[in-house]
Structure 1
Amino acid sequence: MSGTFPLVFSITSGKGGVGKTNLSVNLALCLARLGKRVVLIDADLGLANVDVLLGLTPQKNLFHLFHEGASLQDILFPTPYGFSILPASSGMSEMLTLSTGQKLELLEAVGELEDDLDYLIVDTGAGLSDNVLYFNLAVQERLVVLTPEPTSLTDAYALIKVLKLTHGVEHFKVCVNMSPDLKTAKGMFLRLHQACEHFLSGVSLDLAGVFPRDTGVRKAVVQQLPFCVSDPEGPASRAVLQLANAITEWEAPASLDGNIKFFWKKLLFR
């Protein structure tokens, strides 16, 4: 990866249930296997489940950073898979909307990581909440995940529309998950592309990955293991590794304007 600073990207969706968190976990694992230093933030702050998917039980999470004075190092939790997570809390209504002060606090905390990091992956919540929009603005790249369903397509378009019209975001990468075949996935991407081209002038979309429907994925969830561990040769595992290799070719920021702090700060002082 070229450049001095970490690459910060979100994995996001307009709709829940599209496999976004599962993709985040396995992508973090694959990047770590490629020798990269990776931290995954569970940014679905009120309905966190990264730790559940991994079968881990961190003692502290982002709730403790905001409400109990914990430090980032208290919260940062190494996984057995070569990457670390910043876990969030589940069922905590206080976490559903961050105050400006909390955003500053998170900015300062995450800024500590930048010298020891190649990739910061932000697994956002689904939908159009303040937190989802906030985290999608705080990154350099956005991976929008959808499935071959009309509601998923509609909600992905809604997320892109809000980020474009309200915040001027124009570049998105798209992943189609749980696709029965490549033709179906490309058809979904084409429909999303056509809608954006017709109604959202200036938006550019790239098809970054296609992930096949794979029975091994559901089995891995039940086992609380990454599917890249439980079935490393499965079709979903091969597809995620292919995306991880592609991500290592993405351009990392090479100037101070590209560091983590800049991308958090620009939101707070717009």
Structure 2
Amino acid sequence: MLMYETAMTTKRPRDQAMGLRKIKQHRPVKVIAVTGGKGGVGKTNVAVNLSLSLAAAGNEVMLLDADFGLANVDVQLGLSPEYDLSHLISGERNLEEIIIQGPGGVKIIPASSGISRMADLSHQERAGIIHAFSELHCDVDYLVVDTSAGIADSVISFCKASHEVLVVVCDEPASITDAYALIKVLNREHGVNHFHVLANMVYSNRQGMDLYNKLSLAANHFLEASLSFLGIIPQDERLRQAVQKQKAVVALYPSSPSSSAFRKVAGNIEKWPGTQNASGQLEFFVERLIKSENELSRREP
């Protein structure tokens, strides 16, 4: 009798866990592209700390380093992945084999750093990466995509395929100009109509709102695009120290001003409406990436 009761008590939690997983698998994943018009605006730092903040709030989060050739996510977190996307391209490893466990339970798909070949993938090779996602079997609430900067084909593809596009800007003329150029291309040529703006490395909410207003006024006047202000990440010495130590500031200095700001922004993201057109886990994201790649491929001479 005791053996029977022990078997039953060990079986029930497992059955319940399987049931919860099945329920969760029907909840669509929210895909967020974190991008910027130019390098140096802190885009990767934002992607990393937002991912950890969303995970700390109880979400299952995956972070994709989509900056092919200049990968920075692993550098920012002091990680040394054995395998990365270059091994997926070569066929040496599948997607699940290159995923690494990051801090705070965030799953990380590392890109390849310093390999120019990864920065110049053919459409067929990028399509291979895209197809690999359809074979990925894990629960994800948020997929955060850290794109490269600018308007390269890979940036366009990932932004078009994502449910939400988060544009990081800072108080530099080039940052504003290039962010507007990116928004213009995505809107006029690829039909992306809504963007979230995050002001990074600013000294006040007012300064951040001024940056947003510059972009928003131009977009309202010249484009058929709407912009929303997601918030600010303040200038913070603790953030600089965390970067030097290759740690996420929200993990190393959770009480710092920037950490509080990241948690607030993550809370705002959690209030976004859910997706209604995504079924399963990442199938919808994969389908949109494939469609985007095919469209870009047809435009090539």
User: Is the structural similarity TM-score above 0.5?
Assistant: yes
Correspondence for 2:114 among 57, 66, 91:
91
**What residue in structure 2 maps to residue 265 of structure 1?**
290
**What residue in structure 2 maps to residue 181 of structure 1?**
204
- Give runs of aligned pairs for residues 97-176 of structure 1, distance below 5 A: 97-113=120-136, 116-176=139-199
Amino acid at match of 1:109: A
Query: 1:145 & 1:93 partners in 2: Cα distance?
Result: 25
Match status 1:240 vs 2:265: no
* Structure-2 change in CA distance of 1:192 and 1:184 (3 Å): same
Match status 1:205 vs 2:227: yes
**What residue in structure 1 maps to residue 94 of structure 2?**
71
Count of residues in Structure 1 that have an aligned counterpart in Structure 2: 268
Query: Which consecutive unaligned segments of at least 5 residues does structure 2 have?
Result: 1-23, 296-301
**Residue 133 (structure 1) shift:** 1.4
Bigger Rg, which one? 2
Query: 2:125 & 2:228 partners in 1: Cα distance?
Result: 33
TM-score, length-normalised on structure 2? 0.85
Match status 1:9 vs 2:32: yes
Correspondence for 1:47 among 51, 60, 70:
70
Query: Which consecutive unaligned segments of at least 5 residues does structure 1 have?
Result: none
**What residue in structure 1 maps to residue 6 of structure 2?**
none
Amino acid at match of 1:53: Q
**Residue 97 (structure 1) shift:** 2.9
Amino acid at match of 2:240: R
**Residue 132 (structure 1) shift:** 1.4
Structure 1 range deviating more: 155-164 or 88-97? 88-97
Q: Is 1:46–1:96's contact at 8 Å kept on the other side of the alignment?
A: yes
Structure 1 range deviating more: 96-105 or 82-91? 96-105
Amino acid at match of 1:221: V
Query: 1:38 & 1:222 partners in 2: Cα distance?
Result: 24
Name the structure, 1 or 2, with higher relative contact order (CA <8 Å, separation 6+). 1
**Residue 256 (structure 1) shift:** 4.2
TM-score, length-normalised on structure 1? 0.94
> Where in structure 1 do 4 or more consecutive aligned residues deviate above 4 Å?
none
- Deviation track 1:35-76 (CA, whole Å, cap 9, x = no partner) reads 111110001111001001101100000011002431011110
Query: 1:74 & 1:153 partners in 2: Cα distance?
Result: 39
Helix, strand or coil at the partner of 1:4: coil
Q: Equivalent pairs: percent with the same residue?
A: 43
Query: 2:100 & 2:199 partners in 1: Cα distance?
Result: 29
**Residue 34 (structure 1) shift:** 1.1
> What RMSD, in angstroms, separates the aligned Cα atoms of the two structures?
1.7
Helix, strand or coil at the partner of 2:167: strand
Helix, strand or coil at the partner of 1:120: strand
* Structure-2 change in CA distance of 1:130 and 1:97 (3 Å): farther
**What residue in structure 1 maps to residue 4 of structure 2?**
none
Correspondence for 2:45 among 13, 22, 28:
22
* Structure-2 change in CA distance of 1:114 and 1:269 (3 Å): farther
**Residue 111 (structure 1) shift:** 2.4
**What residue in structure 1 maps to residue 299 of structure 2?**
none
Q: Is 2:236–2:257's contact at 8 Å kept on the other side of the alignment?
A: yes
